Structure 1
Amino acid sequence: MSTHSYFSLVIALAVVALLAGCGGSSTPTAPDQSSVPFSQAELREGTGAEATSGKRLAVNYAGWLYSPTAAENKGALFDTSVGRGAFSFTLGIGQVIAGWDQGLAGLKVGGVRRLVIPPSLAYGASGNGPIPPNAALVFEIELLDVQ
């Protein structure tokens, strides 16, 4: 066997070994973040009506995938109402993820709250669109109105 043929064979075997080690799924998955604790922080105190269960809320929000290494744990932005207009829903009846139902109670109109939401209070093992399975989420939510 010539040196050139031997070298080509070694390279081909190395490529096959590397590809075999890559594994099955071509879909990236996020690390399991089920141990990320729920937390809420007031970024701005509101002075208006208080959000309570059964009330209709209008909010502006931005949502990021949780990242333990990013500033304020804000990874990739996956959704925002800014530019689309306020998002409205009834608090406490399951129209939104459980982390919102839990984390927005008590917020007053004009207030802004940051929520860190574990997967168990978000989309869990299913994920949702750009949100991978078992992803924790970070939201900043401004309460605009309570009805």
Structure 2
Amino acid sequence: MDKVAKIMVAAAAALTLASCGESSQPSAAPGSNAPSAAAPASTPKKLVGKECTADDIKTTGKFGEKPEITIPDSCDPPTKLITKDLSVGTGPAAKSGDSLEMNYLLVTWSDKKVLDTSFGSETFKLNLGAGDVIKGWDQGLVGTNEGSRRLLIIPPDLAYGAGGRGIQPNETLVFVTDAVKVGPGTGATP
């Protein structure tokens, strides 16, 4: 009986260790960039094989107010730049070479969290088309009128590609931008 009890204890311990091994995969700590062994956080999961459109992304707030962005789980990140005017201002339209003052809120697709915002602080200044910003902004802000709010969904190749500045590799970026001021370019980076 003593031998049988030892075998049962050993079997139970082996089962416990085996199940712990399966369920205790290393995972990234919240907010870290360390990937999980099971599924890296930066790898977008294909859900349905249907890319999201601008209409799938939900936003709140009016021009000048800090927005909220909601990214659905029911579609995949788009592979091309998407822009959508959420409200159109009456000021001049931005063209390459113009000087812009913008407010923005950035949500990263993979974790659906706010990564950065200028709302509540200073506006962000740039010369459109001068390479001051990521390509998705240089391309996606052309035509925005002063006083407009625009949604930008930027694929990795027009954003940070391999990553950087707190952005994970191959990350799709979702911005709500407010064109606070559109004016003639200064010829110099602000």
Q: TM-score, normalized by length of structure 2?
A: 0.64
Matched length: 137
Deviation sequence 1:59-98 (CA, Å, 0-9, x none): 111111126xxxxxx9211111011121111110111010
Identity %: 36
Give the 5 Å matches for 1:88-103: 88-103=125-140
For structure 2, which runs of at least 5 residues remain unmatched after alignment? 29-33, 36-40, 45-75, 184-190
- Deviation for aligned residue 1:13: 3.8
1:125 is aligned to 162
Counterpart contact for 2:78–2:153, Cα < 8 Å: no
Query: Could you list the runs of 4 or more consecutive aligned residues of structure 1 that deviate by over 6 angstroms after TM superposition?
Result: none
> Which residue, out of 134, 139, 142, partners 2:178?
142
Counterpart contact for 2:129–2:139, Cα < 8 Å: yes
- Deviation for aligned residue 1:100: 0.3
2:19 is aligned to 14
For structure 1, which runs of at least 5 residues remain unmatched after alignment? 68-73
2:42 is aligned to 30
Cα RMSD, aligned residues only: 2.4
Give the 5 Å matches for 1:53-64: 53-64=96-107
Q: Which structure: greater strand fraction?
A: 1
2:186 is aligned to none
- Deviation for aligned residue 1:50: 1.9
Separation of aligned partners in 1, 2:129 and 2:19:
57
Q: Which has the higher contact order (CA 8 A, sep 6+)?
A: 1
Q: TM-score, normalized by length of structure 1?
A: 0.81
